[in-house]
Chains A and B, each alone.
Chain A
Amino acid sequence: MPDKLSAPIARLEASAPLFSGPNWDYASLRQTYDAIERIALDELGLDVYPVQVEVITSEQMLDAYASVGLPLMYRHWSFGKRFAFHETLYRKGLQGLAYEIVINSNPCICYIMEENSMTMQTLVMAHAAFGHNHFFKNNYLFRQWTDAHGMLDYLSFARDYVAKCEERHGIDAVERVLDAAHALKDHGVNRYAHRGKPNLAEEQRRAEEWQAHAEATYNDLWRTVPGAGKGKEDLDAAEARLQEIKRELGLPEENLLYLIEKRAPRLEDWQRELIRIVRLVAQYFYPQKQTQMMNEGCATFVHYEIMRRLHDKGLITEGSMLEFLHSHSSVIFQPDFDDPRFSGINPYALGFAMMSDIQRICQDPTDEDKTWFPDIAGGGNAYGVLRHAWANYRDESFILQYLSPAIIRKFRMFAVSDDSSKPALKVEAIHDDIGYRRIRSALSRQYDLSRREPDIQVVDVDLRGDRCLVLAHYVHDGVLLAEKSCRAVLRHASVLWGYAVKLLEIDAATDKTLKTYEVAQPG
């Protein structure tokens, strides 16, 4: 923000509102943005990418919905399906459109709809252009996993590449590959940062060390030990070779798409590239899936603080403030579990409540807070604590660290255990002294992506036999895969692999195989 200091700060103290009435124009957008920017940077201490605000129509917003929130996307029927679905909901009035969409890129692109009122545009800019933007720029997952600078370029490459493939190989052929890759896309992300490339020098050094070790411990006597037959040695050697091959293939491998892209025997180059595109797009969304609650909480908290401060300074009118509060409170509304509107915990509600709660603990702690959060309670520097949390946690760890008894009471949370072998659900913990910790850890697990998504790995490719790809689903707590969709996904996988695909459900605790799926080689 180069010219942050050049404008006189005193202007902020002016008590004339920035705008009045519902209509927006470019001048007031810009002016309001400047006012928000000063609050966000100077008072909240946010650190953001440069912003590009783009005005779009509701129809374009629907388009953006369909392509999973990205401004450009390759063509695929599933996006058409999503479009048809949202359009119907929208036209029937069952679903309002989001006020904004924000893209994690540099510059940060923030879409606002033309039909929003000026108050809503202010809210949207505070929410997206500063809240989300700060989160994108600072959270460790985004820093580690996504390349904010290159995403849009990559998407435009992807779109053109898919179009070219369609031209050359036909829409159906491309669709087959994309369908199959989409089915596996949740298993196409690297969960651990950059696996180091095998370093030749390193490998050689290790080989020499082994050699030296073998020579140093060589004892001719072992040769004379009876019992180990010659045949067995051969077998061992064969087994070792196999292990070697497996190691070279990088097995076990949890990134299914990666393994298929690199190793599937029958794919052509363009098909591998398509798989790569799907894989990289999935990877782009990987941090978002893990931080949705925090991300929305951060943005909601930021817009709330900014709007409050704008109002305190007299920069927005009472009317605007009421309009803002109306939409703010509907955004953070949390229906109870027995409410027909209930569809899980609202990430905005929980996120905003936790952020505000941290602020409260820092500034005005109770005795309870002092016991639960001795390091931050009463510390005063609420924004500093929040910025630290936004940068270094994801939903799961954030809840485990910061969910306070006050929030559990406020939401009246309770934990129910659902054991399929028993006829009824059982309440395990409620919002009382004994229950807080259990609820906190249960809720944290609920946000843990590695528990939400099945743990599936490639364990073997039967190179000696029929090249069958063997996947394993490690079963935790006895939760198996849904059968129908599992078969369908395996069929897709076999299309890509080119040979038969097998999936074993293995109990992670006992190593027992509970169930086996097999899909024959595609015809």
Chain B
Amino acid sequence: MMNIVDRRPNPKGKSLSNRQRFLARARAEVKSAVQNALRKRKVADVEHGEKVAIPTRGIVEPVFHHSRRTGRAEHVVPGNKEYLRGDEIPRPTGGGGRGGSEGSPDGSGEDAFEFTLSKDEFLDMFFEDLELPDLVKKSLRETFAFDLQRAGYTVTGSPSNLSVRRTMRNSMARRISLRRPKQWELEALREDIEEARQRGDEDEVKKLALELDRAEFRSKIIPYIDPLDVRYNRFERVPRPNTEAVMFCLMDVSGSMTEAMKDLAKRFFMLLHVFLIRRYRHVDVVFIRHTSTAEEVDEETFFYSRETGGTVVSTALEKMLEVARARYPTDRWNIYAAQASDGDNYGADSGRCVSLLGGEVLPICQYFAYVEVGDGMGGSLTGLARDSDLWRAYSEVAPAHPHFAMRRVGDPSQIFSVFHELFAKGGVRA
């Protein structure tokens, strides 16, 4: 006879721990493969998994097997079309499975092992040696929110926290141990009395009546639920760490910023965003764009609408301070900011930028990254290219503030390495 069992509800991912072990074992190889993959990759794909090929070193499972290059062997293969006995066939090159009859034993012939990393695994690998600077808030008046967490039972409490199950369990235990007569036992006794009475067996009636009296008495003095039984759920208040972060994206959208530059900036912002949401439970993003004036906009407008006008960077910093004061008090929010610009600024404004940044913006920020985007010139040419106005101005601020970093990016391929440098453990600063 057949038996059908539905195994579909069984726990999935039985191989998960094996997979993790495999990744751990191949860590070094996978990591370099990830770095390679990143160079080719668009930021828009950052949320996807990645196919990686790693060298088999370290994950080979060797077995004894015959070398195909020695000795004599005879193979039988199907599909003869033209050969006659005695024909000679040039030896197939490459030594693969072709021409022979057996595949290479257990993958020992492979040079690279190809598989797909899931999104999480990929990002884990990518962000592995990065850390967010200043995860600890410096502000002393940091207040914690509290979460309630179950913490067993108590004998006192408010009725709303009554644990019915636990109470009834105690009550039942007590009733059993004190042998409180059950309702049906009393009923049975009464029926017996009635029966005996009808039979006219007075002795029996008397005896049973006595028993009934005793039972009723017991059931009166042993309460169904005693205050002793009552239990309440107990809750503890546990402080909830500050898990909210806000990320300010500041960008120059003046005429001098080309589409390519904006694209670079966008990539950087996206990467930062992905990074932040891995660390914080909730991340708000505020987009502030500026020309000669600054305004807070939505993402679509931020990246895609065209604007013309001059460039006054300080307006963006002011706007940011304004928004932060209004909506993101530092005791509740971790503030991160990233600014992208081509470095142009209205001449007289740079000084004001420096004082704003050093005096007001940086003290409330966990981290502030300034990325100067160029049009393909590349950060590698920094030494030769003339420093921009803003770069020179910000350079004054940088030394005094370890959580301020500045970098140049000229080409999409550099985004990842720049990002990596900015957040590498141990904090590189400009």
Contacts and interface: CB of A to CB of B under 8 A. Distances in A.
A25 B24 CA distance: 42
A413 B76 contact: yes
A52 B7 CA distance: 11
A75 B21 CA distance: 9
A222 interface: no
B80 A412 contact: yes
A419 to B, nearest CB: 4
A455 B390 CA distance: 75
Nearest to A171: B21
- Of B22, B24, B80, B91, the most chain A CB neighbours within 10 A belong to B80
Nearest to B83: A427
A412 B79 contact: yes
Given A56-B7, A84-B115, A426-B87, A480 B71 contact: yes
A439 B76 contact: yes
A54 B3 CA distance: 8
A401 to B, nearest CB: 16
Nearest to A417: B74
Interface in A223-247: none
Contacts of A489: 62-64
A516 interface: no
Contacts of A415: 74-76
Given A129-B2, A414-B76, A84 B22 contact: yes
Contacts of B67: 479-483
Interface stretch (A179-187, A313-321, A365-373): A179-187
23 contacts: A52-B2, A53-B3, A55-B7, A56-B10, A60-B8, A75-B18, A77-B18, A78-B61, A183-B62, A342-B97, A412-B79, A412-B81, A414-B76, A418-B73, A424-B90, A428-B85, A432-B85, A443-B76, A454-B65, A485-B62, A485-B64, A486-B62, A488-B60
B63 to A, nearest CB: 6
Contacts of A481: 64-67
A77 B15 CA distance: 9
Given A415-B74, A424-B91, A80 B64 contact: no
A427 B85 contact: yes
Interface stretch (B100-108, B212-220, B373-381): B100-108
A412 B8 CA distance: 45
Nearest to A416: B75
Give the size range of B's interface with the partner. Answer: 35 or more
A423 interface: yes
Interface string A72-93: 0001111111011101100100
Nearest to A256: B64
B64 A420 contact: no
Given A78-B61, A335-B79, A420 B3 contact: no
Contact of B77 (A337, A453, A483): A337
A419 B114 CA distance: 33
Contacts of A343: 97, 103
A54 B7 contact: yes
B69 interface: yes
Nearest to A33: B2
Nearest to A342: B98
Contact of A413 (B68, B80, B116): B80
A342 B80 CA distance: 13
A67 interface: yes
Contacts of B116: 84, 87-88, 91
A2 B1 CA distance: 7
A343 B98 CA distance: 7
Contacts of B62: 183, 484-486, 488-489, 492
A125 to B, nearest CB: 8
Interface majority SS (helix, strand, loop, mixed), chain A: mixed
A492 B61 CA distance: 10
Interface majority SS (helix, strand, loop, mixed), chain B: loop
B99 A425 contact: yes
A346 to B, nearest CB: 9
B15 A80 contact: yes
- Of A67, A345, A485, the most chain B CB neighbours within 10 A belong to A485
B21 A53 contact: no
A446 B63 contact: no
A187 B64 contact: yes
Contacts of A50: 1-3
B80 A431 contact: yes
Nearest to B14: A63
Given A33-B2, A83-B19, A478-B72, A60 B65 contact: no
A17 interface: no
Contacts of B85: 427-430, 432, 434-435
Contacts of B8: 55-57, 60, 114
A215 interface: no
B20 interface: yes
Interface string A140-177: 00000000000000000000000000000001000100
B12 interface: yes
A424 B88 contact: yes
A486 B69 contact: no
B158 interface: no
In the A-B complex, the 6 residue pairs with the closest CB atoms: A336-B79, A80-B22, A478-B71, A479-B71, A80-B18, A84-B115
A59 interface: yes
- Of A3, A335, A337, A473, the most chain B CB neighbours within 10 A belong to A337
Contacts of A57: 8, 12
A53 B77 contact: no
A446 B75 contact: yes
A420 B12 contact: no
B59 interface: yes
A252 interface: no
A275 interface: no
